[in-house]
Structure 1
Amino acid sequence: MKPLLTFLLCVSMTMAHAFTIPVDSAQMFVDSLEATFNYQHGEIKFENEIGTLNVPAGFRYLDAKQTEYVIHDLWGNPGGSGTLGMILPDEIPITDGRSWAFIISYEEMGHVKDDDADDIDYDEMLGQLQEETVEENKEREKEGYEPITIVGWAAKPYYDADKKVLHWAKEIKFGTAEANTLNYNVRILGRKGVLVLNAVASMDELPDVEKNISPVLSSFSYSDGNKYSDFNPDLDEVAAWTIGGLVAGKVLAKVGILALLLKNIKLIGLAIVGAFAAARKWLKRKVEPPTVRDIGGTDAPPPVV
């Protein structure tokens, strides 16, 4: 990304000379971007009707469409679709480099049995995950994304058998980035699948994430008929994966970005791109002939000359 930012910086300097862009234009761009988000509080009923989220005190919610924009366009992850939204701290703007969030999704994989929870060697699993990542990086790089390195457990996997909740966290290095990324994973088991919460943050934000795990967990409740205890062996399918499979993450491979998310906000680059786009639009209007729409007609293209 550094060569790209260098290029964009050069472009911005040229534009600043040509169009006299104010020094604080970057901050203006960030402020205007933040103002576009529609944050919500209180009770959120998900469209798939699996349950209800009561946004915990000190947090706010962004819907699925806005979350996709954040994941893909602000953080630079592939994809971004398939979420139920995100919750993030009230006091930190999503465009702030200190921001972090819980990405919410649901995977209807079947009823997850928890019989193996006490028998898993998580140190051995970590070694396997690190080896597999080396191969997966080949595909990531083909698609133009940075390779990743799983540094280790930031929080060793723990399963709460009473609440049917699984926790674990990975410390991840993206490419040659100086700061490592935290992926704190939570899975709330239900009748036919699991609610997925992935906290995306930097490693130095781990204490903030950990102290908010309890209120975040208590904020979600499955609707009647979707609870873990509602499982009916005569009607419901059993998932091919157990607790160990959830931690390994293979079951979420088709979701892609939800398994490993990078918080990679490059606001300077965004401001430059925003300024460049505005300047390009201005230039385009100067050199292109008007369309019929420009002069108050329909959306039909201009006649060929």
Structure 2
Amino acid sequence: MTRRYTVPARFALAALLCLPLAGHAADAADSQAEHFLASLHPVGGSVAVPAAHAHLALKPGYGFLNAQDAQRVLSELWDNPPDKDVLGMILPSDDPHVLLDEDSWAVVVTYVDDGYVSDADAAGIDYDKMLRDMQESAHDENAERRKQGFPEVELAGWAEPPHYDDASHKLYWARDLIFSHDGRSGHSLNYDIRVLGRQGYLSLNAVAPIDQLAQVKADMPQVLAMTDFDAGQRYTDFDKSTDKLAAYGIGALVAGGIAAKAGLFAKLGVMLLALKKFIVLGIAAVAGLFKKLFRRKQA
């Protein structure tokens, strides 16, 4: 596959001039990664997510990291800001090594208890106009992101246009994002799923390289089918006489998660996961190449 991130030429030259050091660094990185992955404990089968009043019925070949492990992956492996709202992470394997697979994806699970989100506006949303507004907002916010030391973000377009299933009350869409930082840039796929419930919604954010869109699209229906609210907490259990009604509808969910209150890209930390994943994988791949070259030279 074509890599989206590369190490600048001056770094590659320096590494080639110091191959023994690169080999040691690669070995140390491999050892640290193995130690970290060994500390993770993905589970399969039926998984309860009590904080979201939900559960997962994982099929063979899928794994789930609990809140503690998922938060550690985000902050320690991918160097994102800590996020205590993360309830878990769905993996396309029961082997945590998949976290280092450049052709794979991960789904971050969170829950928002803002109340019942009405879908009355779903059929009348102009997603083309919404996209233009989101692109403008993302562009305008880059000055502040640069000021705070965060990568710039541009919204290239829909990788998958928004779709709402009014039978299952599940919403999904995908954005093609362009991250830029320190002279490097690359596309990232953010595939978003919202499962509407009685008291709020379950948020499933899949992150992967943009060229894995076909694979993500093929896998996400399985993820959707494996996710549901507990009995009594489903969308159809809403009681308007007692339950809280959210202050926004379907359009606000697509426009930026909790855009109605917090603004576009409020949870930048989750989105940065994609950029960090590319950087980690890119460095690991180059280090691996240097290690192979060094061993060949030693032979």
Bin the TM-score by the shorter chain. 0.7 to 0.9
Corresponding position of 2:168: 163
For residue 229 of structure 1, report the CA deviation from its aligned partner.
0.8
1:238 paired residue among 245, 258, 269: 245
Please, which runs of 5 or more residues in structure 2 have no aligned partner?
A: 286-299
Aligned pairs (5 A) from 1:231-270? 231-249=238-256, 251=258, 253=262, 255-258=267-270, 261-265=273-277, 266=280
Q: Name 1:69's counterpart in structure 2.
A: 72
Taking structure 1 as reference, are residues 243 and 55 closer, same or farther at Cα in structure 2, changes over 3 Å only?
Answer: same
* Candidates 87, 102, 108, aligned match of 1:84: 87
Q: Offset at 1:78?
A: 3.3
Partner of 1:262, secondary structure, is helix
Judge conservation of contact 1:86–1:101 (CA < 8 Å) in 2: yes
Q: Percent identity?
A: 34
Equivalent residues of 2:26, 2:284 under 8 A apart: no
Residue in structure 2 matched with residue 48 of structure 1 by the alignment: 51
Q: Does 1:140 align with 2:152?
A: no
* Between structures 1 and 2, the one with greater strand share: 2
Q: Distance in 2 between matches of 1:23 and 1:83?
A: 30
Does the 8 A contact of 1:77 with 1:262 survive in 2? no
In structure 2, C-alpha distance between the alignment counterparts of 1:251 and 1:178, rounded to whole Å: 26
For the residues of structure 1 that align with 2:241 and 2:90, how far apart are their CA atoms?
A: 36
Deviations 1:162-217 (A, max 9, x none): 11011100000110545310000010110011110011001111111111122111
Question: Equivalents in 1 of 2:144, 2:82: separation in Å?
Answer: 15
Q: Aligned in 2, Cα 1:260/1:269: closer, same or farther, shift over 3 Å?
A: closer
Matched, 1:117 2:122: yes
RMSD after superposition = 3.0
Structure 1 pair 114–104 and aligned structure 2 pair: CA distance change class (3 A) = same
- Aligned counterparts of 1:214 and 1:14: Cα–Cα separation in 2: 45
Q: Indicate how the Cα distance of structure 1 residues 233 and 30 shifts in structure 2: closer, same or farther if over 3 A, else same.
A: same
Matching residue's letter, 1:105: T
Q: Which residue of 1 aligns with 2:235?
A: 228
Per-residue CA deviations over 1:12-55 (Å, capped at 9, x if unaligned) read x69949xx948634333333332222111111111326011122
- Report if aligned partners of 2:54, 2:228 keep a CA contact under 8 Å in 1: yes
Task: Pick the structure with more helix per residue.
Answer: 2
Paired positions, count = 267
| TM-score normalized with structure 1 length | 0.77
Matched, 1:172 2:177: yes
Matched to 2:102, the amino acid is: G
Counterpart-to-counterpart distance in 1, 2:204 and 2:130: 21
Among 89, 95, 99, which residue is 2:100 paired with? 95
Point out the more displaced range, 239-248 or 25-34. 25-34
Listed as ranges, the gaps of 5+ residues in structure 1 are: 272-305
Over 3 Å counting, the alpha-carbon distance change for 1:132 and 1:23 in structure 2 is: closer
Pair member with larger Rg: 1
Q: Which residue identity does 1:59 align to in structure 2?
A: Y
